[in-house]
Amino acid sequence: MTRRDLLLVMSGLVGASLRPRAQEYPLGMFVGTPDGPQELAVYAERSPLGRIKPLAVSLDDVQNVAGEVRVICNLPNWQLRSVFLSTKRIFSDDGAERRTLPTKLRRLTVTAVFAQVVDSADPARWRKRLEDVGASADNPAYVFVTMENDGQVRDFVVGVDLASALAR
């Protein structure tokens, strides 16, 4: 082996160790909060008639967000389909108001996607959206992040801290 070959091999080894590794994200659905990412534990499924019903846990376990709504979706084989806003009424009334939310998407890895609700960054537009769906202290607002896998649909639920949203 010549000196040149040795230098090439060594530079390749050193270069490989200095290259940053790809960012790894934990599996699951996470929402950004001031305390860091929090896992979304509450999701709903749709009945054959389209009714949305929460599964397994109570709505008291929903993670509330005070400011911008930002979510990391890292569920292999699941695709983000939509993001919409509604209220607690959606679980008991098929006619409950809902609004599709404009969302910025950025692919982080092959399986992970970052989604940011555009209107939640603008206090005036966010207040208008909350008023449109009839959000109130008795009828709290929720952002639903709809994921789909081979025909199965899950709506992950993010609570909106109404007092903070209206105070901004």
pLDDT digit string, tens, across residues 138-159: 999 999 999 999 988 999 999 9
In a domain, 152, yes or no: yes
Indicate the number of domains in the chain.
1
Number of helical H runs and strand E runs in the chain: 3, 12
pLDDT higher than threshold 60 for residue 18: no
Task: Identify whether the C-beta of residue 86 lies closer than 8 Å to the C-beta of residue 141.
Answer: yes
Return the SS3 of 116: strand
Tell me, what's the pLDDT at 104?
97
In a domain, 151, yes or no: yes
- The range of the structural domain enclosing residue 122 comes to 26-167
**Lookup: tokens for 126:** 């966010």
Residue that is written with structure tokens 């910025």 in the block: 104
The secondary structure of residue 124, as a DSSP letter, is H
In a domain, 128, yes or no: yes
In a domain, 109, yes or no: yes
pLDDT higher than threshold 90 for residue 129: yes
pTM, to two decimals: 0.83
What is the separation, in whole angstroms, between the first and last Cα of the chain?
A: 68
